[in-house]
A = this chain, B = another copy of it.
Amino acid sequence: MDFEQSYSEYKRVIDEHLKRALLDGEPDLLYEPVRYILFAGGKRLRPVLLLLACELLGGNPFTALNAAIAVEIFHNFTLVHDDIMDKADMRRGIETIHKKWDLNTAILSGDVMFAIAYRFLTKLEVKRFNEIVDAFTKAAIEVCEGQALDLKLETSFDVGIDDYIEMISKKTASLIKHSVKIGALIADADEGEIQAIESYGLNLGLAFQLQDDLLDVVAGEDFGKSIGGDIVNGKRTFLLLRALQRAEGKEREILLRVFNRDGVDSSLVPLVRDIYYYYGVIDETQEMVKLYTDIAINSIRVLPENNAKDMLIWLANKLCERKI
């Protein structure tokens, strides 16, 4: 069985459902940007995970489609508002909404995406609807809290590794954790099964974000993101924070310039990358990605053996080895 092909198949079903779901919607002023961002590509990771979790635990993934697109729409809402806050002009190789349209359009189409996500959630016809809305809402709150922590990290001078891990737990991992939980709830899973799949989601989310930070520094090609963007923007990533704990002398000075956003441009990126390599930060990040991935995979060992489980294991390994 070809996992790659199977993933594409899940993705295609999600894309089609999303397309049908967002076909209408007035006024255009509001819905055109929504369609623009949602049809601009994306891995559809969260909805695929949700469907797989549902299937793994004996549910019918087709009954979970509205929940799958709800988490994808919600995720895209967070991208739209985050891009405003980060003043990012590009996303997935195209202009961000606030850049292509304007600030007000980006705020408001983000808001309506948040609401639309709930609309698809309410279309679910499932027994444990209450718990599903609850899980979704918990994720939404934690994502906002994570973004607030991220903004705080960006302006604070007293930032530790713990702060960083708390931030990504909420900003990135929470939605992944709750996506698989929702899949499990739709499958009417028992408490132990839900805990197992939540642990998978949380640890996968942590691995995913660390890998993202890593790729910003070491990726060989550019896929809509500029290499070293985190360094140029002085993002307080795990790599920067860990390197700052270790580096001394002239190298420390350079990292502090990155940390303080003190005249850093892309010409400095190779040097910072070398410092990361020299102090073992690249290796350590790769090991952490591997560690969280292994925890994720081990969490679901107890769950039934089936195709969906094999896919979830394959996907975890793939994400931690991905190059984009």
**Chain A residues packing against B (C-beta within 8 Å):** 26-27, 29-30, 81, 84-85, 103-104, 107-108, 110-112, 114-116, 118-119, 121-122, 129-130, 133-134, 136-138, 140-141, 144-145, 147-149, 151-152
Contacts and interface: CB of A to CB of B under 8 A. Distances in A.
Given A122-B133, A133-B118, A144-B108, A152 B27 contact: yes
B119 A141 contact: yes
Nearest to A156: B29
A29 B148 contact: yes
B112 A84 contact: no
A30 B144 contact: yes
A301 to B, nearest CB: 32
A108 B151 contact: yes
Given A115-B141, A122-B133, A129-B130, A27 B149 contact: yes
Contacts of A144: 30, 108, 111-112, 115
Interface centre among A84, A118, A151 (most CB of B within 10 A): A118
13 contacts: A29-B151, A81-B108, A108-B144, A108-B147, A108-B148, A111-B144, A112-B141, A115-B140, A116-B141, A119-B137, A119-B138, A129-B130, A129-B133
Contact of A145 (B85, B112, B114): B112
A96 to B, nearest CB: 14
